[in-house]
Structure 1
Amino acid sequence: MKEPLGKPRKPVILQVLPALETGGLERGTIDMAIAQKEAGYEPLVASNGGMMVRELDRHGIRHITMPLHSKNIFRMRKNATRLVDLIKAEGVDLIHARSRAPAWSAYWAAQRTGIPFVTTFHGTYNFKTPLKKAYNAIMVKSDRVIAISEFIRDHILANYDVDPAKITVIRRGMDLDLFDPQAVPASRVVQLATDWRLPDGVPVVMLSGRLTRWKGQTLLLEAIAKLDRKVRCILVGSDQGREAYREEVEALARKLGIDDKVHVVGNCRDMPAAYKLADVVVSASTDPEAFGRVAVEGQAMGRPVVAPAHGGAVEQIDHGVNGWLFKPGDADDLARQLEAALSLTPEERVAFHERAIENARTRFSKAQMAEKTMALYAEMLARQSKHAPVLPEGALAR
Structure 2
Amino acid sequence: MTVNLQASETDGSIGVPRSESGRPVVLQVLPALETGGVERGTLDIAAAIVRAGGTALVASAGGAMVHALQRTGATHIELPLASKNPITLRRNATRLATLIETQGVDLVHARSRAPAWSALWAARRTGRPFVTTFHAPYALNLPFKKLYNSVMARGARVICISDFIRQHVQRTYGIDAARLRLVHRGVDLEVFDPARVSPERVIQLAQRWRLPDGLPVILLPGRLTRWKGQVDLLRAAAKLTDQDFLLVLVGDDQGRTAYREELESLIRRLKLEAKAMIAGPCNDMAAAYMLSDVVVSASTDPEGFGRVVGEAQAMGRPVVASNHGGAPEQLLINETGLVYPPGDLDALAEALREALTLDEDARRALAERAIARVRTHFSKDAMCNGTLAVYREVLNDLEIQRLSTPA
| TM-score where L is the length of structure 2 | 0.92
C-alpha separation in 2, matches of 1:214 and 1:74 = 32
C-alpha separation in 2, matches of 1:368 and 1:238 = 29
Which of 37, 42, 54 matches 2:67?
54
C-alpha separation in 2, matches of 1:144 and 1:378 = 11
Paired AA for residue 160 in structure 1: Y
- Aligned residue runs from structure 1 range 100-249, under 5 A: 100-227=113-240, 228-249=242-263
C-alpha separation in 2, matches of 1:387 and 1:158 = 29
- Are the equivalent residues in 2 in contact too, given 1:127–1:133 (CA < 8 A)? yes
Residue in 2 aligned with 1:3?
Answer: none
C-alpha separation in 2, matches of 1:36 and 1:387 = 24
C-alpha separation in 2, matches of 1:341 and 1:387 = 55
1:289-322 deviation per Cα after TM superposition (whole angstroms, max 9, x unaligned): 1111011100011111110111111111121111
C-alpha separation in 1, matches of 2:70 and 2:181 = 30
Residue 354 (str. 1) matches residue 365 (str. 2): no
Residue in 2 aligned with 1:29?
Answer: 42
Q: 5+ unaligned residues in a row in structure 2: which ranges?
A: 1-19, 403-407
After TM superposition, give the deviation of residue 183 of structure 1 in Å: 0.5
Change in Cα spacing, 1:279 to 1:387, as seen in structure 2 (3 Å) is farther
C-alpha separation in 2, matches of 1:387 and 1:40 = 24
Change in Cα spacing, 1:159 to 1:130, as seen in structure 2 (3 Å) is farther
Q: How many residues align?
A: 382
Which of 7, 15, 19 matches 2:32?
19
Which of 308, 312, 318 matches 2:326?
312
C-alpha separation in 1, matches of 2:109 and 2:61 = 16
C-alpha separation in 2, matches of 1:128 and 1:248 = 26
Paired AA for residue 265 in structure 1: A
Paired AA for residue 125 in structure 1: Y
Which of 373, 383, 391 matches 1:369?
383
| The 10-residue stretch of structure 1 (379-388 or 115-124) with the greater mean CA deviation from structure 2 | 379-388
After TM superposition, give the deviation of residue 349 of structure 1 in Å: 1.0
- Aligned residue runs from structure 1 range 259-338, under 5 A: 259-338=273-352
After TM superposition, give the deviation of residue 386 of structure 1 in Å: 7.8
- Are the equivalent residues in 1 in contact too, given 2:218–2:245 (CA < 8 A)? yes
Residue 258 (str. 1) matches residue 258 (str. 2): no
Paired AA for residue 347 in structure 1: D
C-alpha separation in 1, matches of 2:198 and 2:209 = 18
After TM superposition, give the deviation of residue 330 of structure 1 in Å: 1.0
- Aligned residue runs from structure 1 range 377-396, under 5 A: 377-385=391-399
- Are the equivalent residues in 2 in contact too, given 1:289–1:311 (CA < 8 A)? yes
C-alpha separation in 1, matches of 2:390 and 2:176 = 17
- Are the equivalent residues in 1 in contact too, given 2:117–2:151 (CA < 8 A)? yes
After TM superposition, give the deviation of residue 59 of structure 1 in Å: 2.2
- Are the equivalent residues in 1 in contact too, given 2:50–2:73 (CA < 8 A)? no
C-alpha separation in 2, matches of 1:69 and 1:386 = 35
* 3-state SS of paired residue (2:231): helix
After TM superposition, give the deviation of residue 212 of structure 1 in Å: 1.1
Paired AA for residue 116 in structure 2: A
- Are the equivalent residues in 1 in contact too, given 2:57–2:75 (CA < 8 A)? yes
C-alpha separation in 1, matches of 2:396 and 2:172 = 30
1:260-288 deviation per Cα after TM superposition (whole angstroms, max 9, x unaligned): 11110100111100000001101111111
C-alpha separation in 2, matches of 1:165 and 1:130 = 29
* 3-state SS of paired residue (2:144): helix
Paired AA for residue 383 in structure 2: M
Change in Cα spacing, 1:156 to 1:387, as seen in structure 2 (3 Å) is closer
* 3-state SS of paired residue (1:34): helix
After TM superposition, give the deviation of residue 387 of structure 1 in Å: 11
